Amino acid sequence: MPQFQLPINTAPYYNTDQIANSLAADAMFDCYLEPVPGGPFITRRRPGLIDFADLNTDAPGDGIFWWDAAQKCIAVSNGKVFDVSSDGTFTDITGDAPLIGQPVVFADGQQLDGTPWLYIASGNLIYSIDGADTVAPTDTLTPAATHIDYINMRFVANMAGTSRMGFTDTNPATGNLENDYWSSTSAPIRNTARGDYLLALRTCWEEIYAWGSQGLTVWQDDGASPFSQIQSAFSELGIEAPYSLVRTENTLFAVCVLDGKRVVAKMAGRAPQIASEPIARILADMETVSDAIGDLITVGGMSIYLLSFPTANQTWAYDHKNDTWCRWGQYVGTSDYRDRFIGQHVCFCKPWNKHLIMSRVDGKIYELSRSAFDDAGTEMISYRRTGWVDCGIGSQRKRCDQFYVEGKPGLTNTPSLMIRSRDNGNNEWSKYKTLAFYKNTVEPMNRQGTFRTRQWEFRIPSDTDTILVSAYGAFTELKN
């Protein structure tokens, strides 16, 4: 009697449709894949959310940052800047304000005496010294920057709507290198490789990665200019979503265009690599991706590059260590429909050992936690779904004589799974059957009907942390 292993312990492959996915997993929602040493992946639910703070702005979060030198968590929402404490209380930092409703980019450095300095870019620039009031630089040539970073005692920032970037410089009036002196912008660096607008920049490996819509240039500190372009490092990789740019583990990620195709690119050193082939069709079908927001989630040892697409109302999670993609979202009822994930803008507060994420809806801040199984009271139902599986027999009718699902407990002691199926391309699903793994790790089911192709779905109920290990069955080919 032939046995067939369902494709639920391998990476899902989205660049096909459900009908074509006879040998691949079709979809995953609110899950991630955890590798097993010497074996395949197992499926686990994603971290849930715990209420941490409410900034009472009634507006989405625009950015959050752990300022290590000052030991402060800084959050921005509705044009206000807040100092958030470890118990969720917060103080409104008064002074000049970032632009309302604009994602912000943070860059921290220090003054010559070592005092911490933080810049916040949102289409304008404001700064805070050691967590005090926010101040706008008075230099008339301060760039209207959307992106800023720090390298070798200087801040560098793009000049929005131009191909140039400026940097802090030595003030001739004092002879000091000053963090609020931007008059170097009277003779700024020009991103001349393609002459397009400079949309984003990050510093990495003691170099400046300057991204336009048509290409990426790399600059280095030459000790004189002070920065010069590395001619051999240009890449024909234009950024399409400036706020998708994230730096992690010596790698840069961004949503870009390469040879006329939307891609998620990762820069390991200066060589671009394409990470998004499994979701290439989905990216291509989106009306726009220019408003995408990228975050890094590392809670519980995960390595997730989280991409939220507001216009498409989708959130995709890329596990860059295991090279796997799945969708995250906000469960909105009993249907299969989900809004995009409620969180955007993440930071890790090291002394508190808390991973915080802001709300895309209001001024709330959540803690991401592996031990939370809902989203701050909103139900989270994680599922994994196969394509239309023919069980290796082709289009012939077949009978499922025996079917086995392997699961085990995660962080809860009452593991259970819900399973349903539908046959031969029909839209109607069977009723859910609940499997409880109290005594056994494998639950058998007999006489599961006949079909030509079947699609299975495995759901993790919202009150459990069941691990889905595998599913397999014994099938007999029937005469048509």
Q: Which of 417, 435, 445, 305 lies closest to 42 in space, CA to CA?
A: 417
What is the percentage of the chain residues whose pLDDT exceeds 90?
66
Instruction: Specify the pLDDT at position 148.
Output: 98
Residue 106 has pLDDT above 90, yes or no: yes
Sign for the pseudo-dihedral over CA of 394, 398, 402, 407: positive
Q: What is the mean pLDDT of residues 349-368?
A: 97
Q: What is the mean pLDDT of residues 382-395?
A: 88
Residue 186 has pLDDT above 70, yes or no: no
Residue 1 has pLDDT above 70, yes or no: no
pLDDT in tens, 206-224: 899 999 999 999 999 887 7
CA distance 322 to 409: 22
Domain boundaries, the chain: 3-46+383-477, 48-372
Residue 17 pLDDT grade (very low, low, confident, very high; cuts 50, 70, 90): low
CA distance 96 to 136: 6
Instruction: Specify the pLDDT at position 394.
Output: 83
Instruction: Answer yes or no: CATH 3.40.50.620 is held by domain 48-372.
Output: no
Residue 272 has pLDDT above 90, yes or no: no
Residue 334 has pLDDT above 70, yes or no: no
Residue 14 has pLDDT above 90, yes or no: no
Residue 104 CB-half CA count within 13 A: 31
Residue 440 has pLDDT above 80, yes or no: no
Residue 47 has pLDDT above 80, yes or no: yes
Higher pLDDT, 302 or 49: 49
Does this chain's domain 3-46+383-477 share its CATH topology with 48-372?
A: no
The mean-pLDDT minimum among 1-5, 57-61, 171-175, 321-325 falls in 1-5
Exposed (0-12), middle (13-18) or buried (19+): which is 94, by Cβ within 10 Å? exposed
The mean-pLDDT minimum among 124-133, 275-284, 338-347, 431-440 falls in 431-440
Q: Which of 32, 15, 33 lies closest to 24 in space, CA to CA?
A: 15
Q: What is the mean pLDDT of residues 411-439?
A: 88
Residue 384 CB-half CA count within 13 A: 29
Q: Which of 461, 373, 370, 446 lies closest to 405 in space, CA to CA?
A: 446
Instruction: Specify the pLDDT at position 25.
Output: 57
Beta sheet of 61-67, edge-to-edge order: 61-67, 72-77, 80-84, 90-93
Alpha helices in 220-369, H assignment, sequence order: 280-285
CA distance 294 to 389: 34
Q: Which of 379, 394, 268 lies closest to 29 in space, CA to CA?
A: 379
Instruction: Specify the pLDDT at position 156.
Output: 96
Instruction: Specify the pLDDT at position 124.
Output: 95
Residue 185 has pLDDT above 70, yes or no: no
Buried b / exposed e over 174-208, threshold 16 CB at 10 Å, is eeeebbbbbbbbeebbebebbebbbbbbbbbeebb
Average pLDDT, the chain: 90
Higher pLDDT, 250 or 241: 241
Element (H, E) at 354: strand 354-359
The mean-pLDDT minimum among 61-65, 147-151, 382-386 falls in 382-386
pTM of the model: 0.93
Residue 332 has pLDDT above 60, yes or no: yes
Domain 3-46+383-477 belongs to what topology? Jelly Rolls (2.60.120)
Task: Measure the CA dihedral 230/233/237/238, to 10°.
Answer: -10
Instruction: Specify the pLDDT at position 84.
Output: 98
Instruction: Specify the pLDDT at position 455.
Output: 93
Residue 162 has pLDDT above 70, yes or no: yes
Residue 335 has pLDDT above 60, yes or no: yes
Residue 44 has phi, psi (to 5 degrees) of -130, 155
Higher pLDDT, 465 or 24: 465
pLDDT in tens, 277-331: 999 999 999 999 999 999 999 998 889 999 999 999 999 999 998 899 999 999 8
Question: What tokens were used for 408?
Answer: 């085990």
Instruction: Specify the pLDDT at position 22.
Output: 53
